[in-house]
C-alpha cells in the first residue's frame, strides 16, 4: 500500500479512546501534526501528564467511560475514524480486578462497536495484544495465521478479555451502518511490549522495584526472547492501519486492504527482556539481577501473589496497596520465548519501524535520567527496615515498659551494651547524629536539589548516613 503520508487524515475527525494515556496522547499529537480537522481524546480521566500539551496542540479532551452508552455516543458523534485504545488490567493489581477488566475490555468495546454502527462511522482501529495468541507456550517468529489461544486456558483476565474483544471487532468488519448503510471497516493492531519516554506502566514499576532492591532475580533462561516496540513506531503503525481501512483509494478496489485483518507490530529485534533492560537500568545506577529463577518456580511465586491479592480484592483499587511483585501472566511474558514477524503489516500497510531499538532506548534513557534528577533518591527496602527498625528497637530497649517483645529486645541490647545507661546513650547519640545529618542534608539539598530539600531532610532524619550518602553522590554529579 503506497499512499501519501496524510491520506485519510487531513480534514477528518478522529476519536482516540484512552487518549490521555501514553500511546493515546502520542497518537493524538501525530494526527494533529498530519492535519486532522479535529482530534478528540476520550478518556475516563480529565487530565494526565500529557493533557496540557495536547490542549496546546488543539486536541479536544472529552471525559467519559467507554462502558457508558451516552458517553461513547457523545464522544463519537461526527467522527470519521475511531482508534480504540482504552483498556484495563494490563499489569499489576489491575490484572486481578476481574469484573472491571471484562467491563472495560469487552463491554466497552461492544459500546464502541454499537456507536460506530449507529453513527455511520467508517473506520475502527482496535489496539489488541500479543496475548490473544500467546498464553505461555513458545512462539518463534509467529504470524497472523496462528489460531487464537483457547479462551478457557488464559491465565489472566486481560488476555482473555482482549481476545474476546478483538474477535468481536473483526467480526463486525463490513457490517452496514444502521444510519447510512455504509460499511464499517475494522482491523486490529497487536503491539509488542511498549517503551519510550514517558511510558507509564512497565518502566516505572521496574524502576521502583530496582530502587527498593526488590528485583532480586531474572526469570527464565538467558536465551528467552520477546519483542518490544518503540512508541513512535506503534503510532506509525496505527496511522497506517487507519489508511488501510480507506475504501476510496483509486485502483485498490472496493474492499480496503486492512479490512477485517489483525497485524503484529514490533521493532523487529527480539531480545531477552533483561538484556533489553540492562542499559536502561545501568544508566540509572541500578543493576540487573544475576540470579535466575526457573519459570516453574516463578509461576509458584506468581500464583502465591495472585491468591494473596485476590483475598485483598476489595482493596485492590486503593493507592496504599502496592502492586504484587509478580503474577503468572507476567512470568510467561518474560520467561517464555514469544516473538512475531511484522511482515504482513509491511506488505499490506507499508509499515517499517522508523526508530531503531538503539535510538529508542537512548531517548528513553535520556528521559529517565532527567526524571531521576528531579526525584528523591532512596535506599533499598532492606536498608529502611534495618535502620528504622534498629532505631525503634533501641528506643524500646532504653525506655519502653517490659511488655510484648520489649524484654527480648532489651535482653539483646544488654548483651551488646551491658547496661541500660549505655543503651540510652547509644540511642541519644544516634538521634543526635540523625538530626545533625538531616540539617546538613537540608542545607546541601537547598543548593543542589532545592525542589526535594524537605524530602531529603526527613529521609535523612530517619535513615541518617544511608540517606545522606545518596545526596552527597548527587552533589558530586551536579558539581
Q: Which of left, alpha, beta for 268 (phi over 0: left; psi -120 to 50: alpha)?
A: left
With residue 338 as reference, give the H or E element that holds it: strand 338-340
Q: Residue with C-alpha cell 528485583? A: 215
- Catalytic residue check, 158: yes
Q: Are strands 183-191 and 175-176 parallel, antiparallel or unpaired?
A: antiparallel
**Which candidate in 130, 158, 263, 332 is catalytic?**
158
* Integer Cα distance of 399 and 413 in angstroms: 12
Q: What is the number of other CB atoms lying within 10 angstroms of the CB of residue 170?
A: 18
Asked if 185 contacts 247 with a C-beta cutoff of 8 angstroms, the reply is yes
At how many degrees (to 10) do helices 357-374 and 202-211 cross?
50
- Dmax (CA) for the chain in angstroms is 94
* DSSP, res 197: T
β-bridge partners, 185: 123
C-alpha cell at 330: 507476567
Q: What is the number of other CB atoms lying within 10 angstroms of the CB of residue 13?
A: 19
C-alpha cell at 351: 509499515
H helices present in 175-294, as ranges: 202-211, 231-243, 273-283
With residue 175 as reference, give the H or E element that holds it: strand 175-176
Point out the residues that are catalytic. 158
Amino acid at each position: 500500500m503506497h499512499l501519501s503520508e496524510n491520506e485519510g487524515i487531513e480534514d477528518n475527525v478522529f476519536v482516540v479512546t484512552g487518549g490521555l494515556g501514553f500511546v493515546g496522547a502520542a497518537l493524538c499529537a501525530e494526527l494533529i501534526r498530519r492535519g486532522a480537522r479535529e482530534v478528540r481524546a476520550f478518556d475516563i480521566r480529565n487530565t494526565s501528564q500529557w493533557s496540557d500539551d495536547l490542549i496546546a496542540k488543539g486536541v479536544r479532551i472529552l471525559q467519559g467511560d467507554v462502558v457508558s452508552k451516552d458517553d461513547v455516543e457523545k464522544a463519537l458523534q461526527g467522527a470519521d475514524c475511531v482508534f480504540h485504545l482504552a483498556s484495563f488490567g494490563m499489569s499489576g493489581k489491575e490484572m486481578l480486578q476481574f469484573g472491571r477488566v471484562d467491563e472495560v475490555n469487552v463491554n466497552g468495546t461492544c459500546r464502541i462497536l454499537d456507536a460506530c454502527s449507529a453513527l455511520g462511522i467508517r473506520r475502527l482501529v482496535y489496539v489488541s495484544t500479543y496475548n490473544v495468541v500467546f498464553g505461555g507456550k513458545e512462539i518463534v517468529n509467529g504470524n497472523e495465521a496462528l489460531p487464537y489461544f483457547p479462551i478457557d486456558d488464559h491465565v489472566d483476565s486481560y488476555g482473555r478479555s482482549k481476545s474476546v474483544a478483538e474477535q468481536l471487532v473483526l467480526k463486525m468488519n463490513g457490517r452496514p451502518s444502521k444510519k447510512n448503510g455504509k460499511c464499517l471497516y475494522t482491523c486490529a493492531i497487536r503491539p509488542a511490549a511498549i517503551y519510550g519516554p514517558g511510558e507509564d506502566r512497565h518502566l516505572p514499576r521496574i524502576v521502583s522495584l530496582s530502587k527498593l532492591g526488590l528485583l532480586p532475580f531474572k526469570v527464565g533462561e538467558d536465551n528467552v526472547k520477546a519483542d518490544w516496540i518503540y512508541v513512535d513506531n506503534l503510532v506509525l503503525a496505527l496511522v497506517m492501519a487507519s489508511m488501510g481501512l480507506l475504501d476510496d483509494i483509486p485502483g485498490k478496489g472496493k474492499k480496503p486492504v486492512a479490512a477485517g485483518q489483525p497485524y503484529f507490530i514490533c521493532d523487529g529485534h527480539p531480545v531477552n527482556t533483561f538484556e533489553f533492560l540492562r542499559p536502561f537500568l545501568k544508566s540509572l545506577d541500578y543493576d540487573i539481577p544475576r540470579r535466575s529463577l526457573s519459570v516453574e518456580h516463578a509461576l509458584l511465586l506468581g500464583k502465591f501473589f495472585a491468591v494473596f491479592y485476590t483475598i485483598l480484592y476489595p482493596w485492590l483499587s486503593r493507592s496504599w496497596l502496592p502492586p504484587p511483585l509478580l503474577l503468572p501472566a507476567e512470568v510467561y511474558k518474560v520467561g517464555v520465548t514469544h516473538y512475531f514477524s511484522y511482515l504482513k503489516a509491511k506488505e499490506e500497510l507499508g509499515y517499517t519501524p522508523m526508530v531503531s531499538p538503539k535510538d529508542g532506548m537512548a531517548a528513553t534513557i535520556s528521559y529517565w535520567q532527567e526524571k531521576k534528577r528531579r526525584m528523591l533518591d532512596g535506599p533499598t527496602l532492606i536498608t529502611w527496615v534495618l535502620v528504622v527498625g534498629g532505631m525503634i528497637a533501641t528506643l524500646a530497649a532504653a525506655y519502653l515498659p517490659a511488655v510484648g517483645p520489649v524484654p527480648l529486645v532489651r535482653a539483646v541490647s544488654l548483651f551488646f551494651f551491658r547496661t541500660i545507661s549505655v543503651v540510652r546513650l547509644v540511642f541519644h547519640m544516634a538521634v543526635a547524629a540523625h538530626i545533625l545529618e538531616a540539617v546538613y542534608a537540608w542545607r546541601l539539598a537547598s543548593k543542589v536539589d532545592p525542589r526535594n530539600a524537605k524530602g531529603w531532610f526527613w529521609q535523612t532524619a530517619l535513615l541518617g548516613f544511608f540517606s545522606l550518602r545518596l545526596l552527597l553522590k548527587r552533589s558530586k554529579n551536579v558539581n
